[in-house]
Every structure is written in C-alpha cells, then in structure tokens.
Amino acid sequence: MQKIANKLAVLAASSVLFLVQVHGQTVNSFQTNVTLNARFSLTAYSQNYTLYNPSNAPLKTAEVIKIVSGDIINAVGASITNTFPSTAKLMFKTTNLGATNQHTSFIIRNGTNDVDITSFQVGTNVVAYLDFSFPETTVSTVRSAGPAKTNSTDYSVLQFSMNTVRGNFDLRGFTILSSASVVDKGRVLEASPFPNAFTVSVAGSGALGGKPTVFRGTVTVSGRKVEIVPVILDSP
C-alpha cells in the first residue's frame, strides 16, 4: 500500500485554520477521511478427522466452510471481547488524507464508532487482527483527467492477513486498482489518484479452530466515500 499511499499529498484545506463552533465545541480545522466498503467472500477447506469402526482408524475429511465479512467481524470481536451487532460494517479507511499522519487500515464501523482492527491498541502494543500489504511490484498507468485531476490503473499483488482467536489466514492475489483524484462537491481535495475500487481473487492457508485450513475466494473493496470531519480544539 506504500506506493499507493505515496501518491497522496497534503490537502489544500489543511493550510487554513477554522475557528467555528460545532455542537458547542471549538473546531480549529477539518480533516479528510476516505472510506470504502470491504467484502470478504471465502470458501475454507478445514481438516477434520473421523474414526472408522471397528478399527477406529482415523480418516481425514475436509469440512467446507463459507466465510463472509460478518464472520471476520465476529472473530475480531471475540479477540477484543467486544460483541458487534449484525449491523456493524467492515470497511477500508484512510484518515487524514494527504497529511503527514495519514493512516490506512481496516475498521469495524458500529454506528458512529470506528474500531481500527489493523492497528488495534492493546496496552502499549499494536495488534493487527486484519491487515493488508502490497508485497510485490506495482505497475501503473497514469493519465490526466482534466485540470488538477488524475486517473490511474495499478496492477499488483495484494496480501491479506488475519490473526484472531478463532482462526488465521494469509491470502494473496492479483488485483487491478482503479484510482482517481479525490473530489468533493466539485472541489479537488487531492489531485493524485486514490483507489476507487478493487477486487482480488485470493488463495492461501491458515487455520480455523486450530485445524489446518486452505482458503480461496474474493475480496472486494468499493464504494469510495469522502468524509470531511471537524477536528476539535483541545481545551486548555
């Protein structure tokens, strides 16, 4: 993701301080976040054993299990002792777009509360329950889309890793990322291209319930949305 992240520059709006009131609190600036919906659709083949009578010899059988985003949310919830409702959403979020502290991660959105599950704080440690990376070379085509706008297509291999109390996996697959400048209500917030959507056909291995498991399926990230949120001025 580093190559994609390096495309993002400082927001034009970040150079201006706003001193306004939002719900009685002083706001000194606004930050731009970008969210996308994340959907996992996986088939898992988990190793089981059955006893064959009368010799009671163990026989291997493969249990087929369907895994979707809700299952990942529940597995993370079990790991952090948080029971998420069925309405919780798995999302891909970049905060502080273009700033020096820009951060991209998977989140679980429960109403107005976002839980970062790529950089989850446990005491002084940071735990990645669901993570991503671009471990291979990325090849790009970049085109102008008009004044201060740019489109790009990136060809790469994307890796997803999960590590929870219920199971883990390490998945990889080829993907084509469609990206464009970030625009909100006709105003260009970021000229460099940022992903609109991508789908990855993945495969890999791991474990479910302590049993060796192989996985295959798709990961789809789509529905890019710009969220401009106020930054509350700290009280003296």
All structural domains of the chain with their residue ranges = 2-232
Q: Note the pLDDT of residue 50.
A: 80
Structural element, H or E, at residue 72 = helix 69-79
Q: Note the pLDDT of residue 233.
A: 61
The residue written with tokens 């400048």 in the block is: 181
Q: Note the pLDDT of residue 192.
A: 85
What whole-number distance in Å separates Cα of residue 129 and Cα of residue 118? 6
> How many of the other CB atoms lie within 10 Å of CB of 28?
13
Could you read off the pLDDT of 113-162 as tens digits, one per residue? Answer: 999 999 999 888 999 999 999 998 999 999 988 888 999 999 999 999 99
What whole-number distance in Å separates Cα of residue 169 and Cα of residue 42? 11
The residues of the chain scoring below 70 in pLDDT are 1-28, 52-55, 233-236
Q: What residues contact 64, with CB distance under 8 A and at least 6 apart?
A: 43, 44, 45
Q: Note the pLDDT of residue 16.
A: 36
- Across the chain, mean pLDDT equals 86
Please tell me the pTM assigned to this model: 0.82
The residue written with tokens 């479910």 in the block is: 208
Q: Note the pLDDT of residue 14.
A: 36
